[in-house]
Structure 1
Amino acid sequence: MARRWVLKALPLEKMLLYEETKKDIYKKDIEDTFTMWLPGGDVPYSPKCMAFRLQWGALRYASNTAFIALVAADNGLHTEEYRKWAMSQLHYAYGDTGRSYIVGFGVNPPVKPHHRASSCPMLPAPCGWDAQLNKGPNPHTLYGAMEGGPGQGDDYTDSRMDYVKNEVACDYNAGMHASTAGVLIIKQF
């Protein structure tokens, strides 16, 4: 199956152009993006229904695309369908399938994210590579940090040594926090 990942511009740029101009060319690009992302499209799904774009930071892709879906819905594009899909991806990250991928939040959250500072011992103890090898939870909790997420089969082990699934990063959190704020704002109006 051929993958059509690259658009002429990023989906968010197309969304912003559609927001400003309401031109059909941008609307079509957004709809084409979600034809790929929604079930039945080119993006595969895990058994528990996470859209699985790529292995490294899988939840990053799902949550960032959920944000674009919410913006598209706010602009009248497939409002109910896109909101429902965005919520399904957020609910997955927050733990509705039995495990949260948000540090310090939800059901069975991760306690060993791959993050140097949070895995260092309390001061004044020195921090070195040994801290990464510590078998216990990280001494410092990164409340609200979203990990990369599970594999395509929903496989996951809470281990800071598995940096592919347990890495935390700003771009991982950006879409998740923006989507969460978008959902909360919608509920207020």
Structure 2
Amino acid sequence: MAFISLVAAAQGIEPDRYRVWARSQINYMLGDGGRSYVIGFGHNPPTRPHHASSSCRPPPHSCTWSDYSKPGPNAHILYGALVGGPGEDDDYVDSRSDYIHNEVGCDYNGGFQSAVAALRYVELQMTL
């Protein structure tokens, strides 16, 4: 929604309001709510995303479901990936088995990265 708001703003639809709202959403994901939901970034980021290959031990070890089921942080850090995030009540547990809150889906990561790029573009345009 942040990206769609920025596209609407670029088309002249309530640009100030939509840019402010989009920025607040991105800032929340980056940590304004007390923790970051972006792996490897900010305060207390997720370390156990629901992502099988990042939970595997480095080679020469084979990747098995036992690696995925270990309680510690994933062996590989997916820098910049956004997890599903908190529930309606801002509740969040960094648990690999909770795919709803800890999945790193391409659909919302694409929107997240696009919104970050659009915000950067807006900042650059304002400095010219």
Question: What is the TM-score when the length of structure 2 is the normalising length?
Answer: 0.95
Which residue of the other structure, out of 22, 26, 30, is the alignment partner of 1:90?
26
Q: Which contiguous aligned blocks of 4+ residues in structure 1 show a shift greater than 6 angstroms?
A: none
Q: State the partner residue of 1:187.
A: 123
Distance 1:169 1:110 in 2: 14
Q: State the partner residue of 1:105.
A: 41
State the shift of 1:107 in Å.
1.0
Q: Which amino acid aligns with 1:130?
A: S
Q: Larger Cα Rg: Structure 1 or Structure 2? A: 1
State the shift of 1:128 in Å.
1.0
Q: Which amino acid aligns with 1:139?
A: A
Q: String of CA shifts for 1:60-91, please: whole Å, max 9, x gaps.
A: xxxxx110111111111111111111111111
Q: State the partner residue of 1:80.
A: 16
Which residue of the other structure, out of 89, 99, 103, is the alignment partner of 1:167?
103
Q: String of CA shifts for 1:87-143, please: whole Å, max 9, x gaps.
A: 111111111111111000111100000001100011111211111211111010000
State the shift of 1:170 in Å.
0.9
Q: Which amino acid aligns with 2:52?
A: R
Structure 1 gap ranges (5+): 1-64
Distance 2:105 2:87 in 1: 17
Distance 1:94 1:151 in 2: 16
Distance 2:12 2:69 in 1: 50
Question: Superposition pairs for residues 20-169 of structure 1, below 5 Å?
Answer: 65-169=1-105
Q: Higher RCO, 1 or 2 (CA under 8 Å, sep at least 6)?
A: 2
Q: Which amino acid aligns with 2:10?
A: D
Among the aligned pairs, what percent are the same residue?
52
Structure 2 gap ranges (5+): none
How many residue pairs match? The answer is: 125
Q: State the partner residue of 1:10.
A: none
Q: String of CA shifts for 1:27-56, please: whole Å, max 9, x gaps.
A: xxxxxxxxxxxxxxxxxxxxxxxxxxxxxx
Question: What is the TM-score when the length of structure 1 is the normalising length?
Answer: 0.65
